[in-house]
A = this chain, B = another copy of it.
Amino acid sequence: MNPARRIRDEIAASIQSGAWRPGHRIPTEQELAARYGCARGTVSKALSELAASGLIERRRKAGSFVAHPPVHSAVMTVPDLAELIAARGEAYRWQALAIERLTGGDDGFARPALAIEGVHFAADEPFAFEQRRIALGEVADAADADFEAQAPGTWLLAHIPWTEGRHVIRAVTPTRKEARLLGIGPSTACLELDRTTWRAGGVVTHVRQLFRGDRFDLVAEFRSGLESARPS
């Protein structure tokens, strides 16, 4: 077995089993190198990985310590809707309701922009209602895309990879119009997902998606950061 991996995993096991409590001091790199019979660089690599995963905290001169657990950091996978629905084995369809070019006005979003409204369908039933703005200053190509044929999220994913962003998730009661578009009663709870997406400091797009509460839920997982099996 990999020496570095072995050191890393044994320490991680000591922490996760509760044998080493938060605040516990971990042996120094030199001590570990002697104990495992390897070079200090190898120990350093193992401890660096543990620190990167948040399990331990390292301070110069003081040493390495078991970190205090973060309150809860979970990884949530927010799929592209077209892929999500296809993965469920249902037919996916996007229907644009309105596409408008915004040049003036001020709603806090950059101009010029594209404003798009539409509905995502799964198996020919409404699944989510979407309202989006795209900053043409950041994504000039978007002006030529055909958002009647392709959902803007799918297009953006293919053309603007590696963005940063922020979601806000809440439960809301839909407006009458929204309930009608989603084919639900006016008091059915909906999950609202607000996502703002940046690249290099500039806002690329903002989208508000409204899901039928009875058809969609989000899943988030938290692990100790290690052995990151690829989420599929």
Contact = CB atoms under 8 A, between A and B. Distances in A.
Contacts of A161: 18, 21-22, 68-69
B72 A75 contact: no
A30 interface: no
Interface string A10-53: 00000111100110000000000000000000000000000010
Contacts of A76: 73-76, 167, 220
Contacts of A169: 169, 191, 217-220
A71 B148 CA distance: 22
A73 B220 CA distance: 9
Nearest to A159: B18
Interface of A: 15-18, 21-22, 52, 55, 68-80, 83, 157, 160-162, 164-173, 187-192, 199-200, 211, 213, 216-224, 231
